[in-house]
Structure 1
Amino acid sequence: MIKNPATTLKIILSAVLIALLANCASKEEQIIVVGSRIANTGEPVELVETAEEQAPIVDSKAVTPIQTKPVQTLNELSKLIKNHKNIHANSTKKREAEYLKEKEQLYHLIATSSEASHQIFKRYGVNPTIQTEHNPISTFSMDVDNGSYKLATAMLEQNRLPNPDGIRIEEFVNSINYQYNQNDALFSISAEAMPSPFRPGYHILHVGIQAKTINDKERNPSNLVLVADVSGSMASDNKLQLLKDAMKTLVSQLNTNDRIALVVYNENALVKLESTSASKKLKIFNAIDQLIAGGSTNAEKGLQKGYELAENMYQPGFNNRVILTSDGMANIGSTSPESILTKVLESKEKGIFLTTLGVGIGMFNDHLLEQLANQGNGNYLYIANARDIQEVFVDQLNSQLQTVAKDAKIQIKFNPKQISNYRLLGYENRHLNQQDFTDPNKDGGEVGAGHTVTALYEIKINQAVNSKKLADLSIAYKKPQGHKVHTINKILPVSLVRTSSETTSPDSRLSFSIAAFAEKLRQSYWARLYSYNDIQHQLNLLPVAYQKQEQVIKLKKLIATAKNLDARTDNFEPNSPIVNINFDRVPLLD
């Protein structure tokens, strides 16, 4: 017998979690599972147990033998057999009920125990520094997700350092509200460059894209299908209650000409509420309140049923959208985003968009939810509390519901005479080839009304050249229900280069500060050059009005927490000592 209960818990949970998570991602992808350090890298996992360490997951109690007296007549025998059958049936149901109860307790234990905190990410690497003379063109799809930043925030607020594989710089940068100027165009473009505070000889090029905003009256009617994960893993971390609160908040903001339907899924999927006018809020709230967690997770069935309903509700010119609410821990059916979305491609092309709304920390599949949104014409959001719900479904409702451009892409062609080197900060999983830019069959990003998309580059400017142009900026996109590719072209002149950070806009300085924070969290090569205190110093130089913003105050707190938690060593130091660092050449490890 094992004397240490913690050891027993580790053994039980490790075995169970490997079984539960074995199908969470396709075999060809490099998936990182953190917590108990179970990794799915395409190689078989061998479990070794000693005799002492073997322990049953569920210990069902034996049925007590039935005491009987000797049988005297055939009638008594008949009654006895019947009695045996009834008792056996009842005991079987009792054992089954006990098993289901213990199974739910196990789900809760897995999701709440510090010994079994599991998150699934995909590692995308870090963009290298590019020599412009060899490759002057940078192409990537737009991204308005916030999942990476919100999940990292939730973890730091629990005094836990987020895993570096879950840090995507663009989602940190695009989670901040910037005060960009707007004109009447679909996309208003702002740009400037400032000397890098941390990489000598380089500037930070800030490109800000503001989508046209609309008011509530201008928002098109919406046909929304909520697809709610009610599997057993949703019983922990207050996940299900958060989703209920989020869905009810969304419904409370809708107009009378909007419609809502509700699909729930665990190992099966069913329609909990057919298409219903948003004016019937009590009926919708009642359906949401009845949701109970239990069972396995078949996200494929849930999404298929949701898209079937969305097809039936579809109306041209409406905001037709499926909203998947889940922790992403799919463990039966198809579990890779590619497989799950294969059967809904026609709906995607038709103009039915997808939002994935993630919750939970203890058991959470970031990779699945992020890629479902990426490949399903949508965006990936994360909520951890009432503040996040308010932000997503009240403050940003029009942006989340009404898409103004789909398959949106950015391409920058740097002037090799003026720019010798450049590096894009983030967007590693949004990279596109040059020829993909105007290819109508290549997926891009979806942008909602009022959304902002910000991209940052480190650039090395050739001061000896007196050119008037830094680069050419182009945007490609389609209309929400169109197939034709439209383009916008702008010149980025040398005049946008500032001589110091003091003469640079607060938005550019703020965006760089949060990007530097993300670089630090994911242990980027260039993050070795500065400390968390250096990032705080940059924020302290912002105007007082900016420092009073809630988003800046929260960012400062997160940086302070990360500083106290981060005791990691420098992985680059043994082979590339910081004293010998070459600011123009980077050892590419990923």
Structure 2
Amino acid sequence: MKLIANSIKAAVVAALVIALANCATAPSENEARRDSSAKAANEVKAEAQAQAQRRAKQKSEASEAERISVIASRLKADDDTVLADQNQPLPPRAPEALISDTLKQLLTQVKTNNELLAHSQRDAETGFNNQPFTHNLTQAQKEELYRLVSRHPESVGQIFKRYRVNPTIETEYNAISTFAMDVDNGSFKLASAMLHSNRMPDPAGIRVEEFVNALDYQYQHSDDLFALSAEAMRSPFREGFYLLHVGAQTRELKAGERNPSNIVLVADVSGSMGSDDKIELLQVAMKTLVSQLDKNDRVALVAYSDNAKVLLDPTRASSKRKIYKAIERLRANGSTNVEAGLKTAYRLANEMQEPGFNNRVILTSDGMANTGSRSPEAILSTINDAKQNGIFLTTLGVGKEVYNDYLLEQLANQGNGTYLYIADLDDVQEVFVDNINSQLQTVAKDAKIQVAFDPAIVSHYRLLGYENRHLETQDFMDAEKDGAEIGAGQKVTAIYEIKLAESIRENLPRAKAIASLAVSYKKPEGKKVFQIQKNIPVSIIQQNVEHTSADSLLSFSMAAFAEKLRQSYWARFYTYHEIEGLLLTLPRNYQAHQQVKELKQLISIAERLDNGYDEFEANYPISKVSFERVPLLD
């Protein structure tokens, strides 16, 4: 028991240190090219795996043998639920008031204290034990407190912005839904990494659209730039409603069609990047990207900590050894001046910019800016001209324990770009090998979606997610209003809950349309707004699961899962088990897909870790809920 207690203590102290630190072509040629790209990527991946094995060997056997997994919970500062360090959670119990009060004080300290930044693990532990609010605790109480803090979302050192959940809207008053597209995956990938670490993700970091769009759907193609799809079925999660799946996909590029690229890699090498193997993963990602480029592409490298420095001037991608050596020189040290890094990167990007090229800045960071401008608005104001000139931005997040999701997501959102997250080598493969064309070649910018429901057919609707992408109806065709940048072959999916008008529920008018679906966009270097519009016929409504496509069932399951993790008001009415049940209705061959198996695993982990806390029950008990209206929340 003493050994286990010491292990728990060591693991939690480590978590505290991290949380306190840095607060704030011809067919044959095409095949050869694909083989070469795959070989280069595999070589980089093999090298990374070898490095990981060497690092693992260096860890002491005793430490490895004593490793213990601390189960996460959604403990709030005033929550009374405690989970034991076992594979199965114990029933809820109420800790002593002293522990609860101390937890509040400690979490405040974790967020505000900067005195222990440079301390060693032993110093941090001593500093913790010497805090006035721990003096009256027994050693057993301190051990329990360590566990509570290590599992609390605020102790992880992650920064999010929580958005209000979209309300249910009556079409009699507003029948038109307008929003900017979104192809980010950062929210889903980070939440997945947390769950695989036996921690519940922070509800504030869950964006439903990024969960839904993290999946690969097999949409049909069309001659338009955007192929539009839609399907609906009765909702298994909300009584009286249907789930509507809306999908859009751009044309895919054929081999050899990708335009040449000018890429500026921007590497965060501040002190916070020294944890979680962030620098190593960042280096693997950069090398993998370079391995997929050819002689027509150019690469430059900027590193920043206190200040920014150009480590590699614009270089042809055919000089891979030279580029790899520059990447290998990256070392973590100093503070985080994102503003300086982006300023230098955009200066280089302006110098490299050429018509007909993919001109892109790729920022890799944990987002913990603590020097220079720190808000996305202030940082982006310094590069606004470059943004307007056709230079696109990708923010690539790394790390878990110290991480600013809000900064990276908003930089991409407002900087004409995409926000991605990588947790491991599989994520690197997905981003920079499997989807390289989508990430590099933008085919539409300021892309938006508008769904205009027919009030005679649909009486209520609710858009799941896209809260921070909301637009006014008149913004849809406004060339000055920002939308999303969409790459070649990328898919954008949105899920609605809809309720049919009472007058047609028993006899659906199959010849009519429930809504019109429209997409507006501009060409990558253009200013004119184009529009594609299709009707969504009543005939796309399926009356049972058996007639519903696998893609729709998968998207509905993912949206429900995200709502559950987000602690949405409407997620109170179904369980994780019911989400798993919907996945089990997928065709057997579809269930064998890796993304389906991964989703099942994540749902299983969340079901085990979730304490079932319902913040709405006291004021809005489930027994008195109206499914047609949602309470106004803060």
Paired AA for residue 269 in structure 2 = V
The answer to whether the aligner puts 1:497 opposite 2:545 as a matched pair is no
Paired AA for residue 219 in structure 1 = R
- Shift of the 317–564 alpha-carbon distance from structure 1 to 2, 3 Å rule, reads same
- How many angstroms does 1:36 deviate by? 10
Aligned to 1:457: 496
The answer to whether the aligner puts 1:378 opposite 2:422 as a matched pair is no
Q: Identity, % of aligned pairs? A: 59
Contact 1:407 1:444 in 2 (8 A): yes
Paired AA for residue 230 in structure 1 = V
Aligned to 1:275: 314
In the TM superposition, 1:548-559 aligns within 5 A as 548-559=592-603
Distance 1:404 1:144 in 2: 13
TM-score, length basis structure 1: 0.83
Aligned to 2:159: 120
Paired AA for residue 409 in structure 1 = K
The answer to whether the aligner puts 1:330 opposite 2:369 as a matched pair is yes
What SS class does the counterpart of residue 513 from structure 1 fall into? helix
Distance 1:346 1:56 in 2: 40
Aligned to 2:461: 422
Contact 2:337 2:369 in 1 (8 A): yes
Aligned to 2:140: none
Which of 493, 501, 519 in structure 1 is aligned with 2:563? 519
- The number of aligned residues is 518
- Shift of the 282–35 alpha-carbon distance from structure 1 to 2, 3 Å rule, reads farther
What SS class does the counterpart of residue 464 from structure 1 fall into? helix
In the TM superposition, 1:323-472 aligns within 5 A as 323-462=362-501, 464-465=503-504, 466=509, 468-472=512-516
- How many angstroms does 1:449 deviate by? 0.3
In the TM superposition, 1:473-484 aligns within 5 A as 473-484=517-528
- How many angstroms does 1:55 deviate by? 11
What SS class does the counterpart of residue 330 from structure 2 fall into? coil
Q: Structure 1, residues 395-438: CA drift from partner, whole Å, max 9, x if none?
A: 00000000000000001111011110000010001001111111
- How many angstroms does 1:194 deviate by? 0.6
Which of 312, 323, 329 in structure 2 is aligned with 1:284? 323
- Shift of the 534–9 alpha-carbon distance from structure 1 to 2, 3 Å rule, reads closer
Q: Structure 1, residues 28-77: CA drift from partner, whole Å, max 9, x if none?
A: xxxxxx9998xxxxxxx999999xxx99748xxxxxxxxxxxxxxxxxxx
Paired AA for residue 629 in structure 2 = R
Paired AA for residue 327 in structure 1 = D
The answer to whether the aligner puts 1:539 opposite 2:583 as a matched pair is yes
The answer to whether the aligner puts 1:296 opposite 2:340 as a matched pair is no
TM-score, length basis structure 2: 0.78
Aligned to 1:145: 184
- How many angstroms does 1:500 deviate by? 1.2
Paired AA for residue 156 in structure 2 = S
Aligned to 2:145: none
- How many angstroms does 1:215 deviate by? 2.6
Distance 2:397 2:75 in 1: 18
Distance 1:221 1:197 in 2: 47
What is the RMSD computed on CA atoms of the aligned residues?
2.9
Aligned to 1:567: 611
Which of 345, 348, 358 in structure 2 is aligned with 1:309? 348
Distance 1:413 1:49 in 2: 46
Distance 1:393 1:336 in 2: 28
Contact 2:452 2:517 in 1 (8 A): yes
Aligned to 1:231: 270
Q: Structure 1, residues 250-281: CA drift from partner, whole Å, max 9, x if none?
A: 00000110000000000100100000000000
Contact 2:19 2:402 in 1 (8 A): no
Paired AA for residue 305 in structure 1 = T
Distance 1:390 1:327 in 2: 20
- How many angstroms does 1:114 deviate by? 3.8
Which of 192, 198, 209 in structure 1 is aligned with 2:231? 192
Aligned to 2:94: none
Distance 1:339 1:49 in 2: 27
Q: Structure 1, residues 221-240: CA drift from partner, whole Å, max 9, x if none?
A: 00000000000000000100
Kindly name which structure, 1 or 2, has the bigger radius of gyration based on alpha carbons.
1
Moved more, 127-136 or 434-443: 434-443
Paired AA for residue 562 in structure 1 = A
Q: Which structure 1 residue ranges, 5 or more long, are not aligned?
A: 23-33, 38-44, 59-98
